[in-house]
Amino acid sequence: MLGEEYEAFQKSYEEERQYGLRVNTRKISCEEFESICPFPIKKIPWVPNGYFYPSEVRPSLHPYYRAGLYYLQEPSAMTPAACLPVTPGEAVLDLCAAPGGKATELATKLAGQGILVANDISASRARALLRNLELFGASNIFVTNEIPEKMTRYFPEFFHKILLDAPCSGEGMFRKDDSLAADWSVEKSENLSKLQKELILTASKMLMPGGLLLYSTCTFAPAEDEEIISFLLNQRNDMHLVSLPDYPGFSSGVPEWADQNPELAKCVRIWPHKMNGEGHFLALLKKEGEPNSLVPIKKKPQIDKGSRKLLETFFQDLGLSWDFQRVEVRNDKVYLLPPVEQANLRGIHFLRNGLYLGDLKKNRFEPSQPLALALKGKSIPSLRLSPEDDRLHKYLRGETLIVAPGETQKSKGWQLVCADEYPLGWGKLVGQTLKNKYPAGWRL
């Protein structure tokens, strides 16, 4: 495939892999992050909110990571979500979303408006996906664990934007992960090619007229890349390829590696010898027609008077209010539904619909961990500690904290515990003692 370039490609495997993080711009701007980042970072030129960091740094150990300020992601893998133009208020689907490397960015771009449906066929991976979306403070989410074909029944031509980051043979990740190289076989790639054809056809059925579908893999094999796109173009004459941004280092798709359709040159391949990232493939497709807008949610509030009073009291105390049209109570758990009208979802297997606000207990309401991460610490009574304060690490380990008078804005009750102004979770102040409400499953 590479001809004269092969030597340079092979040489790139002697170099170290690249490490990257992507800033959650819903929580912090890139400028602010650059000013507070405690370790060296360098901008990734083709991803607006992406940064390289040195291999010896461990950003996952910093409290800012626990506050959802960034996601650790290989730089090339940031490209698909960066290249899918998503605007607030749209319906977006990430069909193979776990563990959420791209879904977290799509949620960020939606800025709490519209809906992100994030699906994965694997139950354990879907749980990791939900955790990462919650860490990012995403509220307008519907996280599912479904067979893609079944989803077409619920969401026919529903989405403005779809990301299909397909399961693939991972040839582009061999430098990052030896086990992928050990697992590779021709048969595996051929079987994946069949699955990818099914998945892209399934995804196209859920795309609204005028909508955009981004297909990506982290492999070089034409059978999983150009051939999948030419298959779709031959199956659906209402879809065509759209050019992707032309960054220096991106290589065009190669028509000769599939059915010679010159349009395939609009695809993009990232080669590790041409860019500071691992291997990737991307194609952006558009369906003909005009898109529709989503219908705002118009449900009757699904909450009884007594529970509503408890919630109102709790949130007034924090200076917050909710649109009760969006509040739903199921088994004493309270959710804030996404702001758009959804189809009848009976029968679909989901892990989360909206933002989990907390639990109704006898005569009180207990706020949830995802709610803490979806709030802005600046405007809510909180205990703000510097990341250097040892108490933050104690908090993340689940220990009780001692708080000096005046350190919290409220003298008792529920407080957000923050790294600087960025919420990590809840605590409850009694005298000078802050009871730790950081959930066991989230602790260090």
| Binding residues for ligand SAM (CB under 6 A) | 96-102, 120-122, 125, 148, 165, 167, 195
Closest CA to 169 of 261, 279, 265: 279
d(CA 375, CA 368): 11
Nearer CB in complex with ligand SAM: 134/165: 165
CB 384 within 8 A of CB 63: no
Q: Which residue is nearest to ligand SAM (CB)?
A: 101
Closest CA to 216 of 236, 200, 232, 233: 200
Question: Whole-number minimum distance, CB 20 to ligand SAM, in Å?
Answer: 13
Question: Whole-number minimum distance, CB 25 to ligand SAM, in Å?
Answer: 17
Choosing from 37, 83, 218, 267, the catalytic residue is 218
Nearer CB in complex with ligand SAM: 198/323: 198
Nearer CB in complex with ligand SAM: 169/415: 169
Question: Whole-number minimum distance, CB 325 to ligand SAM, in Å?
Answer: 32
Q: What are the angstrom distances between the C-alpha of 181 and each of 173, 176, 189, 198, 366?
A: 8, 10, 12, 25, 47
Check the annotation: does 99 bind a ligand: yes
Check the annotation: does 101 bind a ligand: yes
Question: Whole-number minimum distance, CB 142 to ligand SAM, in Å?
Answer: 16
> Residue 318: what residue type?
L
Asked if the peptide bond before residue 245 counts as cis, ω within 30 degrees of 0, the response is no
Q: What are the angstrom distances between the C-alpha of 274 and each of 180, 269, 299?
A: 22, 10, 52
Check the annotation: does 390 bind a ligand: no
d(CA 51, CA 45): 9
Question: Whole-number minimum distance, CB 197 to ligand SAM, in Å?
Answer: 12
Check the annotation: does 246 bind a ligand: no
Check the annotation: does 222 bind a ligand: no
Check the annotation: does 418 bind a ligand: no
Strands 355-361 and 364-367: antiparallel
Question: Whole-number minimum distance, CB 151 to ligand SAM, in Å?
Answer: 9
> Residue 260: what residue type?
Q
Question: Whole-number minimum distance, CB 190 to ligand SAM, in Å?
Answer: 15
Question: Whole-number minimum distance, CB 99 to ligand SAM, in Å?
Answer: 5
Structure tokens at 99: 């563990």
Nearer CB in complex with ligand SAM: 98/429: 98
CB 397 within 8 A of CB 363: no
Nearer CB in complex with ligand SAM: 121/265: 121
Q: What are the angstrom distances between the C-alpha of 301 and each of 101, 267, 317, 323, 405?
A: 34, 46, 22, 9, 40
Nearer CB in complex with ligand SAM: 57/195: 195
CB 242 within 8 A of CB 288: no
Check the annotation: does 102 bind a ligand: yes
Nearer CB in complex with ligand SAM: 100/425: 100
Check the annotation: does 183 bind a ligand: no
d(CA 166, CA 62): 31
CB 250 within 8 A of CB 279: no
The region that residue 101 occupies, defined by phi over 0 for left and psi between -120 and 50 for alpha, beta otherwise, is alpha
> Residue 212 forms beta bridges with which residues?
161, 286
Closest CA to 370 of 109, 59, 143, 96: 143
Whether 168 is catalytic: no
Within its chain, how far is the Cα of 343 from the centroid?
23
CB 422 within 8 A of CB 429: no
Nearer CB in complex with ligand SAM: 164/336: 164
d(CA 278, CA 199): 24
> Residue 296 forms beta bridges with which residues?
340
Strands 159-165 and 251-252: unpaired
Check the annotation: does 289 bind a ligand: no
Catalytic positions are 218
User: Which residues are known binding-site members for S-adenosyl-L-methionine?
Assistant: 96-102, 120, 165
User: Which residues are known binding-site members?
Assistant: 96-102, 120, 165
